Structure 1
Amino acid sequence: MNILRNARFRRLLIGETVSSFGDSAMFLSLAIWAKDLTGSNASAGLVFLFITVPGLFSPLFGYAVDKVNRKPLLMWMYGAMAVLVLSLLFVDSPDQLWIIYAVAFCHGVFFSTPARSALLKDLLPSADALQARSLLIATREGVRIVSPAAGAAIYVAWGGSFLALLDAATFLFAMALLAGIKLTESQPEAPTGEPFRSQVTAGFRHVRGMPLLLRLIGAMVGFMLIAGLLESAAFAAIEHGLGKSAAFFGVASSVQGAGSVLGGVVAGALVKRLGECRASGVGYALMATGMLLCISGEVGLFLAGVVLNGMGMPLLGVAVGTATQLYTPSRLQGRVHAVVGMTSGGVQSLSIAAGAALIGIIDYRVMYGLIVVAGFASAVSVLTRRPPTPEIVASLADEPQDTRPPARDTKEPVPEGA
């Protein structure tokens, strides 16, 4: 990939990959640790609650990201997380369970703060946005295949303290690589006297005023509102549909991860050729088809469906992420990325909760069927009467010729009568 010739991006990619490995390895192990200390499944489940709750405050985090220089902020965050995870060294009884929850919450804040996504606007020329997003997602999904199992194995073999030291080291490594990246950042906006609430919600107004982003995010929210049912339905499909034990879920997760890596690798080329709307439509269609195959009751078809589901999601992420990076001013990047994360993640959480409550009442095949309908409906929503592609908002890293609208196939046709 041409993007790998960019030394600054290589540093960022390596740092993100190492840090992501440490974090993904830690998440599952924190829940196991809480279970070991208390013997309670509820205590283990609360770890994931503390990780996800900070996402509700994403607009505030996005506002903060847009008001400061992103590189120093990100370095401070890496350093703070390295120190915070070391507090796990003091956990040796149920009385210190609160430390595990505090670390989980801080991890959630770290991942809900869109500093890294916002930094890409100033770091990369607009022409490299697609390749960068595609490679970042493919690498992240690849790490997620092995890191949870690796983290659990490390925890069992050497304990949580060793895992805490490893996670801290990954944060420090990422911070060191980021420190070596030289870039010119866009300057934070001077105070305007605009009410605080209005400044925080500026990302929502930007999305509402840009039909392409509104269509992409709206379709994703609609799909995620139903797709969370899969978290509960998948276990029922494995047990009742395939006649397998719950341990088969680990096999399915690895297969889905492999599909996600493949999807991430090809996403950039597809978005470049088809445009953001049509590429995301392909993603929804892949996931809907995959869910349909999972109802078959055949192991081979089930795994094929899992692969298609894994391939589809990166197409959505690359399409929405690239559109946000290209068509949003630098000093709105944090708030717009926060809109994407909070809206899609929020409705998915509601859907997961609904699935957990309904799985004992509704047949899992009905849940899969609802996801199929939602997937195809979202595909139709982005493929019909596609909005025009906006003008690219220039990056500080652009050469003069990069600021012109791209002469590529992502140019969506203006609908008749628009």
Structure 2
Amino acid sequence: MSHTEAAKKPLVLRNANFRRLWISSTAGIFGTAVTSVALPVIAVTELDASNSTVAVLSGMTFLPWLLFALPIGVLVDRHRRRPLIVVSLAVRTLLLASLPVAWWLDVLTVTQLFAVSFGAGLAAVFFTLAEQALVPAAVDRDELVEGNGLMTGSGALGDAGGRAVGGWVTDAWGASNALLLQVAASLASLTAILRLDVAEARPDRPKDRRVFRDMGEGLRYIFSTVPLRMLLITGALWNLGGNIVVSLLVLLVIRSLGEHPGMLGLLTAATAVGGTVGGLSAKWITGRLGSGRVWRYSMFPVVAGYATLLFITPGWGMTAGFIGLFIAGFSIALNIVVSTTFRQRVCPPQMLGRLGSAQRMVTWGMLAVAAFAAGLLVEVMDIRGAILTGILVAALAPLAAVFGPLRRVRDLEDLEPPRTEGPAGTRTETGLHTS
């Protein structure tokens, strides 16, 4: 088969290493989606936790990003990524498997639920950063948009399936028993990553072991240019407001509207289905509209989609929420593909772990802050009022993008640093130059 004919095949078929990474990621996201439905339902229905406790619980998975992302990013850059993924996936699986066991023994407590959520989140920091850093090694530079689109789209599909199945299994088996699906998905993810055949040279480890210096380099890098700063600011604002909404969704659907966990799973799956379509459409849409425009305007439909939650009612009244969350998921996926691709293209390979950790410490750390904020809001106002507050905060993100310094940029790729030939034919980048 000629090179041209091979290139016409989808990336997942023509690149075995990307396919294995893709399978591992998608299976892992499926299991995580099941867990994201089951954990708050365990708190609400099996442990009868308070509203503020349920809201805060959703942030425990993301708290490790705020506390430990920077040093873990340094470790990812100093070690081979594949072994880190294997170990962290195994640890996370064992932690989550302890919950159904504790339920069977009638010893499950809110304290264990919080501890397992935090520990599973800590393991996720390791394998998420390592996986993200492996993508550029598994594909060519010109395949990054396609690769990230496939990862985002199929990940959203796995998320949709996991949430829908998780909601159904939670109804049928019980919330704690539903976590057995997470165990099965993690085993599939481990099997795929063990077959990965990406050549990883042993990273050069500084003799001085100055971890704080390397952490500082990652932080400085994400603030070093206007495009990276704006991606960071908008991502942080969006996650702060958006996760206030998401943290309260279980309370709105189950406690306020009196719906069953299966409906919660289907409602959140609508976001993931939209994300699947958005991720798979990202290459086509950015090619026609420009990645800069897509990044700026994709967050407005998300705000509108989340606003539909203020008007949902039991039964057929949930339809507006399904439509709104589908639109939200579609637009979020476009934004993620554009942002992730730009960072991967401009970042030197040896900095990918630190860039990812510094960026997610801020943006994903906001998910934890948002959950704590949701816990406070739901104590001083009703659930819908707290959701409205989150929507208003999230709306600051697209406003910052549209009126910010990148408001006239059609393609973010135009802001990439020039690539020049270095010694011995190596490629080097000179840094971004933007006003």
* TM surpasses 0.5: yes
Write the deviation string for residues 236-280 of structure 1: whole angstroms up to 9, x where unpaired. Answer: 9999xxx97666766543333322222111123333455543221
Cα 1:237/1:70, change in 2 over 3 Å: closer
How far residue 101 of structure 1 moved from its aligned partner, in angstroms, is 4.0
More off after superposition, 201-210 vs 163-172: 163-172
For 2:31, the equivalent position in structure 1 comes to: 22
Q: Is the 8 A contact 1:233 1:367 kept in 2?
A: no
For residue 70 of structure 1, the aligned residue among 52, 70, 81 is: 81
More off after superposition, 156-165 vs 281-290: 156-165
Cα 1:191/1:251, change in 2 over 3 Å: closer
For 1:125, the equivalent position in structure 2 comes to: 140
Cα 1:232/1:280, change in 2 over 3 Å: same
More off after superposition, 371-380 vs 118-127: 371-380
* Aligned ranges 1:7-406 → 2 under 5 Å: 7-34=16-43, 38-41=47-50, 47-56=57-66, 57-88=68-99, 90-91=101-102, 92-93=104-105, 95-97=107-109, 99-113=112-126, 114-158=129-173, 163-193=178-208, 195-231=210-246, 252-290=267-305, 304-358=323-377, 360=381, 368-369=391-392, 371-372=394-395, 374-381=397-404, 383-384=406-407, 386=409, 388-391=414-417
Cα 1:353/1:101, change in 2 over 3 Å: closer
Write the deviation string for residues 45-89 of structure 1: whole angstroms up to 9, x where unpaired. Answer: 664343222122111221111110001211222333344444346
How far residue 381 of structure 1 moved from its aligned partner, in angstroms, is 2.3
Q: Distance in 2 between matches of 1:48 and 1:37?
A: 16
Amino acid at match of 1:169: A
How far residue 129 of structure 1 moved from its aligned partner, in angstroms, is 0.9
Q: Is the 8 A contact 1:260 1:307 kept in 2?
A: yes
How far residue 301 of structure 1 moved from its aligned partner, in angstroms, is 6.5
Cα 1:29/1:277, change in 2 over 3 Å: same
Cα 1:95/1:346, change in 2 over 3 Å: same
Q: Distance in 1 between matches of 2:208 and 2:201?
A: 20
Q: Is the 8 A contact 1:295 1:368 kept in 2?
A: no
Write the deviation string for residues 327-367 of structure 1: whole angstroms up to 9, x where unpaired. Answer: 11222111111122221122344345445544628586676
For 2:3, the equivalent position in structure 1 comes to: none
Write the deviation string for residues 299-336 of structure 1: whole angstroms up to 9, x where unpaired. Answer: 67665543332222112211221122111122211111
Cα 1:162/1:266, change in 2 over 3 Å: same
Percent sequence identity over matched residues?
20
More off after superposition, 37-46 vs 163-172: 37-46
Amino acid at match of 1:389: L
Amino acid at match of 1:116: E
How far residue 188 of structure 1 moved from its aligned partner, in angstroms, is 1.3
Q: Distance in 2 between matches of 1:94 and 1:44?
A: 20
How far residue 152 of structure 1 moved from its aligned partner, in angstroms, is 4.4
Q: Distance in 1 between matches of 2:264 and 2:177?
A: 27
More off after superposition, 99-108 vs 52-61: 99-108
Q: CA RMSD in A?
A: 3.9
Please give the TM-score of this superposition, normalised by the length of structure 1: 0.79
Cα 1:88/1:173, change in 2 over 3 Å: same
Q: Distance in 2 between matches of 1:269 and 1:27?
A: 31
Amino acid at match of 2:400: A
Q: Distance in 2 between matches of 1:371 and 1:385?
A: 22
Q: Distance in 2 between matches of 1:185 and 1:313?
A: 32
Cα 1:381/1:236, change in 2 over 3 Å: farther
Cα 1:289/1:51, change in 2 over 3 Å: closer
Number of aligned residue pairs: give it: 400
Cα 1:187/1:392, change in 2 over 3 Å: farther
For 2:5, the equivalent position in structure 1 comes to: none
How far residue 162 of structure 1 moved from its aligned partner, in angstroms, is 5.5
Write the deviation string for residues 206-230 of structure 1: whole angstroms up to 9, x where unpaired. Answer: 1222332222222222333433443
How far residue 285 of structure 1 moved from its aligned partner, in angstroms, is 3.2
Cα 1:178/1:228, change in 2 over 3 Å: closer
Structure 2 counterpart SS, 1:183: coil
Q: Is the 8 A contact 2:69 2:357 kept in 1?
A: yes
Structure 2 counterpart SS, 1:201: helix
More off after superposition, 44-53 vs 305-314: 44-53
Q: Distance in 2 between matches of 1:53 and 1:232?
A: 14
Write the deviation string for residues 108-163 of structure 1: whole angstroms up to 9, x where unpaired. Answer: 01222211111112222111111111111111212222313423443554467764
